[in-house]
A and B are shown apart, each in its own frame.
Chain A
């Protein structure tokens, strides 16, 4: 199947310091892809760059295509039709994404006017339908509420309703549940799943939480210091993680069953953009590092179909075996 969105060699730097160092990624129509990584790894910047939402001082190279349409360097009127229309995005903090001085319904009607040309009663009826769809009770009355009158979970539902206003082919959800309580997180994840099934919409879920991604997505990309270090179908990633960073992330997660052991914390911290190691960016924290890791950026190895890992250990299975044992 032709990809819906394809990223090739996407690089972003701010004031000469690299934030993204070459992202290759494609998303099929209707697919759910998880993008996992720690703060500063570039998982949000990837989508801000793709949609032309980065400030002017950012230097962007590479290509992002939406069904063949190049988005990098595209004129503003093209991007405006894509943003919120074909690709919608929701963020971590719904309250700050909504305008506090306008009624929520008015903000959704604005999105409907921009992307679907709906006005007046038609827009309001559609806004009510969207509110019903995302599970906001008493939709007709709640359209006249202000964001502060909503709870955090309801604000996120309202944001999702607004994102759906343009009938997007791809929804990028950037940490959509991080600011919410766990029981509300479960509600929002459930909602995203059901909407995706209903509309055949592709979903990119950006999250630091491997558990959230594991449940929601079919394929996962793990990012570290501006690169994708591992990509695999979700079951494969959890059953046979090939990159030491992925193994480190999984090992750092406290188990909920079985004996309690000391957590295998990854030592040290993420490298700063101005002090990027010469070879593999993870090498300084890696317990499986050897001399070649410091020479150059490792190429992708393919331990299984649809599974890639940018690690020299993964490229030489016999070595990886001795490490795993």
Chain B
């Protein structure tokens, strides 16, 4: 039964109150433990077509008569277009149309960063378009360039009001403390660099606009594009069945989609607008740099009694200020906490959500700080975490929290650190470090799914969701198969088309499984009910004694056992249609995910080389749907995290603000040779308060604690405190030298 409710919706740490129509979620969760299909390894449903290169990505869409667009971007970090002359460009060979500032949303008069989109050209080939874009004549009025986030904060150049948080009294807590540790931690700008760049192909067909786009949010793009062009939503069809990575950067249409749509409208031809890799490294979004000034106070028995922090997010020209302060507020049971968080508005390309925005950066600062506290107290770092375990989030209970179980799983790994250290030889020092993980991942309404079963006894899940590589397609098939009682190979999933299927939430913020999953289960339950009704009629039994197991209709007394195809063959063209919706989240509870990483590193103390040898990752994300897919997510998140920990950094020219690391030889992501041994464990306990599945998302948790765990392992191995990401050779050598100086002055040894 549908009802209208007001509920809190969280995505990537940002909360909003929304009005939603929801169906009552009446299904009981499955009991804990692996089921027939759910909670087991499932081969990825779309693996083969991706591996074979048959999957059609937006980059592969080639429509007859398609034109190519190139965007002219500002070379300057802050300037206004005083005069622009498009005529030379328009006259160039192959050019069909040219757009200037204001001709479409996204092309602006004022450029607030190097790479800001100003104008665009559609031409027969991309080379023609690029050449023409270069022929656009612009006179710039150069404006003041602010690049230093601390200066921006001083001058109150902010993207948003500062966010303050307080519980208890920080000063009192510090006064009570026996030990106080302070430190400043910095993280650098890191780029998503999905393998498929941001791009869209737009085509008008009558008064309908068709948008092929590499996106994480088919419905969101539909709404945004419809809004930009003054169209009703159903006149925009957004298609994305396969996309080459997003990690948070592809949650909106960006300027390139609107540019392609407008150029298509003007030329009457399909238009592709695809970012080059250099544009991708410049203006496609980033995880912003942070500066964190942190303080922690504790009693000598290890009770943390004070936590404080000033957090500066170097947001850029626009964007939002992510929850870098979140871990400090939520991870530990400390009575006195005060944080203030600034979003610095500077002339650098705007941030975009990147896999646990804010919490990756904040966990690095906090978990390194806590480890430094442990060292000063002479307390085991894992013991210190156990001692300060938070049983609630302020006054809000957790819907489920099994972080202690994660600690227990990791204890054996942690206990081996003496063995690991003993491997030190010559200039190579070995050490072990840990870090806790906290993040969101509960998803929320709305999301909907339909299930269609035909006379062949096969089920098709239909919903306009995305599979951005996380394996959500397979997870949905598993959920449907489990609820229906079908084998997995009789269930297919149709996704990625806003004209085919109901609304599904964006694939970001670890939302898809916890948001769309319950809707799929509800739809499957609806379809199963109808199958059982049909069986009751056909076989003259009561509905309550009928079940479906492994694709067969069975009766409780065992007399009936017939394949589903046999049951439904009478349908012919008739179909069973089930529908389901995601219900609301539990009210008054914090829905969060938890985990721990224990990392073994080796450091060459003479050359500063850091080698991550092994990562043990234990995560609590409620019920795991696909154990194989889950492991891949953990490995992937850890490897991506090793990138921002050791080698990834976007650099700009300090004078002009121009981006310097625009190519993948300069912006260095991990290769196959940079991968440690990774061992995953899951608590895999359903969150009993959360939906009919008890599942949370896993896309982000694995990337959250890895940098801190590596930093702490380095400290364990060498006594060196790294306070900056990436831990480049330069930073490692600096920290080693500082440690040597500290050692000569007699500092406490590792515990």
A complexed with B? no
- Taking Cβ atoms with an 8 Å cutoff, the residues of A that contact B are none
